[in-house]
Amino acid sequence: MSSFYICTTILTELLMISMSLHVLHYSGFTKEQKIWYLLTFVSVILCSVAEFAVHCGFYNETLALPLTVLTVIQFSVAPLLGILFTGALGLKNQAKFAIVFFVINLLAETIAAPFGWVFYFNWEGYHRGDLFFIYEVFYFISLIYLLVSMAIVGKKFRHRDLYTIGMILVILIAGIIPMTFFNINITYTAIAISASLCYIYYNDLVQQDIQAELILNQEKISEMQLHMISGLANLIENRDMETGEHISRTSAYVKILAEYARKDGVYTELLDDHFISLIFTLAPMHDIGKVIIPDSILKKPGKLTKEEFEHMKKHAAAGGAVVTEVLNGITDKEYQSFASDIATYHHERWDGTGYPEHLKGEKIPLSARIMAIADVFDALVSERCYKKAMTAEEAVQVIKDEKGSHFDPKLVEVFLKHKEDFISLKK
């Protein structure tokens, strides 16, 4: 017996053992799928061991009966491999087909064995019988069944496994031809490699679809978050729904200002796509702290008293706490922190005279500094119950005059350079 045959048998056994261990420890399959995979891999092990025992070269007449029984089992199980694997691929009702096919194979082989129709043993060892084609017919039926089943499963995965079907067919043919025409028994090695490739590729397809589903779900969650944020902000800031456009405009303003700042080389180390996406999404939350302010102050048609203004100022500090509570469990910590910074600090001033913490200069979060310009500009050009609207040119002048006192001077320069874009949004 050649060392080549020994090596291929050992390779087959090790490959199937490793795949079986992977199945046992893999969490991506159901219990039913694991059973199907284990049945497939264990069956290949059984058939390969039986093939090795029959052709190992140590045959004697006393082993004729046990080797006959072993070969009957092998010839009954081998054609079953295709059906076993279709069960692992997820097709329904494969257990019924597997049982029926196995019983038919077993009956045919058991009846044929005493007469040596399919195979027989003599003093020289194993020989094929005159009706060996019976086994080959069953085997090829199983092979065709497997390929058809893979094509059916391929529809579920949008035919992404058609190349794999072709590759597996080539490997199987490469294992069958040497056995059929040259009596070189590497069929089960080819089957083992094909089963492993199917398993690995199927896992990859499953993971791709799981990932795509996760992305889709994340997009849905993000969309829900956006609607929740926008709706809540409108409800809180615009209780009478008269100034709802303030929310959408300020979001647009902060995005434009952030994008132009990056383009102009201002704070480029912070203003990446993720930052701009966050500030655009979370800008509507900037005045959510107004939930604690009574309507008598929030909608007062006139100038606030000192006491009323002090009460109004509390909305900034409250905003961070409200945002954190609202978003807790819905978004990650970075998302919460970013929203909290906008809500808490957008009334801070560059010179440190703002509120609630009198932060100064770049100690004020960049998101809040951008929000401050957008919020004030839109407030100036909008009519409120307590004031008339300024013209866009007048509002631009206010922003310019408060450069370095109220607003970040670098951001003001960006604003002034691209003021027409801001003005056009208001028109």
Has residue 357 got a pLDDT over 90? yes
Query: Hey, is 384 helix, strand or coil?
Result: strand
- pLDDT band of residue 99 (cuts 50, 70, 90) is confident
Whether residues 248 and 203 share a domain: the answer is no
Q: Which residue has the higher pLDDT, 210 or 174?
A: 210
Whether residues 247 and 129 share a domain: the answer is no
Whether residues 144 and 245 share a domain: the answer is no
Whether residues 199 and 335 share a domain: the answer is no
CA 263 from chain centre, in angstroms, equals 32
Whether residues 286 and 416 share a domain: the answer is yes
What integer pLDDT is reported at residue 84 of this predicted model? 82
Structural domain including 182 reads 3-212
In a domain, 344, yes or no: yes
Q: What is the mean pLDDT of residues 245-273?
A: 91
Q: pLDDT by residue (tens digit) across 12-37?
A: 888 888 888 888 887 667 788 788 88
Q: Which residue has the higher pLDDT, 213 or 341?
A: 341
Has residue 404 got a pLDDT over 80? yes
- pLDDT band of residue 350 (cuts 50, 70, 90) is very high
Whether residues 168 and 46 share a domain: the answer is yes
Identity of the residue numbered 37: Y
What integer pLDDT is reported at residue 155 of this predicted model? 65
Q: Which residue has the higher pLDDT, 47 or 165?
A: 47
Q: What is the mean pLDDT of residues 336-359?
A: 94
Q: What is the DSSP code (8-state) at residue 293?
A: S
The CA distance from 183 to 137, in Å, is 18
In a domain, 277, yes or no: yes
What integer pLDDT is reported at residue 78 of this predicted model? 83
- pLDDT band of residue 352 (cuts 50, 70, 90) is very high
In a domain, 218, yes or no: no
Has residue 343 got a pLDDT over 60? yes
Q: What is the mean pLDDT of residues 334-340?
A: 88
Whether residues 26 and 169 share a domain: the answer is yes
Q: Which residue has the higher pLDDT, 407 or 9?
A: 407
Whether residues 259 and 356 share a domain: the answer is yes
User: Distance of CA 379 to CAs 186, 245, 327, 388, 398, Å?
Assistant: 80, 11, 26, 10, 12
Q: What is the mean pLDDT of residues 302-306?
A: 84
Q: What is the mean pLDDT of residues 149-170?
A: 63
Identity of the residue numbered 391: T
In a domain, 142, yes or no: yes
Q: Which residue has the higher pLDDT, 233 or 313?
A: 313
What integer pLDDT is reported at residue 241 of this predicted model? 43
Whether residues 242 and 188 share a domain: the answer is no
Has residue 389 got a pLDDT over 70? yes
Whether residues 147 and 254 share a domain: the answer is no
The CA distance from 170 to 79, in Å, is 18
In a domain, 62, yes or no: yes
Whether residues 260 and 382 share a domain: the answer is yes
What integer pLDDT is reported at residue 163 of this predicted model? 62
- pLDDT band of residue 329 (cuts 50, 70, 90) is low
In a domain, 311, yes or no: yes
Number of domains composing the chain: 2
What integer pLDDT is reported at residue 293 of this predicted model? 82
Q: pLDDT by residue (tens digit) across 184-219?
A: 566 777 777 777 777 776 666 666 667 777 777 777
Q: What is the mean pLDDT of residues 392-409?
A: 94
Beta bridge partners of 403: 407
In a domain, 219, yes or no: no
Has residue 134 got a pLDDT over 50? yes
What integer pLDDT is reported at residue 242 of this predicted model? 46
- Cβ neighbours of 93 (radius 10 Å): 8
- With contact defined as beta carbons under 8 Å apart, do 399 and 376 qualify? yes
Has residue 240 got a pLDDT over 50? no
Instruction: Give the CATH number of the domain where residue 38 resides.
Output: 1.20.1070.10
Has residue 2 got a pLDDT over 70? no
Q: pLDDT by residue (tens digit) across 38-92?
A: 888 888 888 888 887 777 766 677 777 888 888 888 888 888 887 887 777 777 7
Whether residues 191 and 246 share a domain: the answer is no
In a domain, 58, yes or no: yes
With CA atoms as reference, report the closest residue to 162 among 150, 172, 174, 170: 150
Q: Which of 194, 212, 230 is the last residue of a domain?
A: 212
- Cβ neighbours of 146 (radius 10 Å): 24
Instruction: Give the CATH number of the domain where residue 321 resides.
Output: 1.10.3210.10
% the chain with pLDDT above 70 = 79
- pLDDT band of residue 243 (cuts 50, 70, 90) is very low
Q: Which of 212, 247, 268 is the last residue of a domain?
A: 212
- With contact defined as beta carbons under 8 Å apart, do 315 and 284 qualify? no
Q: Encode burial over 278-302: b for 16+ CB neighbours within 10 A, e otherwise.
A: bbbbbbbbbbbbbbbbeeebbeeee
